[in-house]
């Protein structure tokens, strides 16, 4: 599920695009190519190097590949990549949710305070609310990790 999250952000960015009628269809049309490149091709390379049934037994297949290439800091490099990707995902979530709450406020479906815009065009109140929700989730995950995200 997480792997395909973010595709819907393309629609949310339409309000920010200079020429949405041109760039949004282009972005949508490249999604299948990106999925094939980043997921299918990556898995094909991994499975060509390691047997598919050995994943998880010896460690991360990416770390094993880099170790095999003589890169001793492979785990550290991949941890930096994962942290960078996580920060990017958080940024997209704050942007997308903030823009959705701003739009809902314009339609009368959310508090009017969500319509407050900074001088650079950012709906700052929605960013503050999303940042607060993110911080609350982090604190709850630290305090009660076994119960916080369980339905």
Backbone angles phi, psi at 106, to 5 degrees: -60, -30
pLDDT profile of the chain (151 residues), mean per 10: 62 78 87 88 84 72 80 86 90 88 94 94 93 94 90 73
Angle at 44 between CA 31 and CA 87, to 5 degrees: 50
pLDDT score for 84? 94
Q: What is the 3-state secondary structure (H, E, C) of the chain?
A: CHHHCCCCHHHHHHHCCCCHHHHHHHHHHHHHHHHHHHHHHHHHHHHHHCCHHHCCCCCCHHHHHHHHCCCCCHHHHHHHHHHHHHHHHHHHHHHHHHHHHHHHHHCCCCCHHHHCCCCCCCCHHHHHHHHHHHHHHHHHHHHCCCCCCCC
Cα–Cα dist 123/87, whole Å: 20
Which of 147, 111, 106 has its CA nearest to residue 129? 111
pLDDT score for 3? 52
pLDDT score for 102? 92
Cα–Cα dist 69/83, whole Å: 23
Q: Could you tell me the pTM of the whole model?
A: 0.70
Domain ranges of the chain: 1-49, 56-151
Q: Which residues contact 20 (CB under 8 A, 6 or more apart)?
A: 14
pLDDT score for 73? 86
């Amino acid at each position: 599920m997480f792997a395909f999250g973010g595709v819907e952000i393309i629609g949310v960015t339409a309000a920010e695009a200079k020429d949405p009628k041109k760039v949004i269809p282009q972005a949508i049309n490249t999604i299948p190519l990106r999925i094939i490149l980043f997921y299918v091709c990556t898995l094909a390379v991994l499975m060509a190097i390691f047997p598919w049934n050995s994943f998880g037994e010896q460690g991360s297949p990416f770390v094993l590949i880099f170790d095999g290439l003589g890169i001793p800091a492979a785990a550290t490099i991949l941890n930096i990549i994962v942290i960078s990707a996580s920060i990017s995902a958080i940024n997209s979530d704050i942007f997308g949710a903030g823009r959705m709450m701003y739009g809902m406020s314009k339609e009368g479906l959310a508090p009017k305070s969500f319509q407050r815009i900074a001088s650079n065009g950012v709906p700052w109140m929605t960013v503050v609310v999303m940042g607060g929700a993110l911080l609350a989730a982090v604190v709850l995950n630290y305090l009660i990790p076994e119960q916080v995200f369980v339905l």
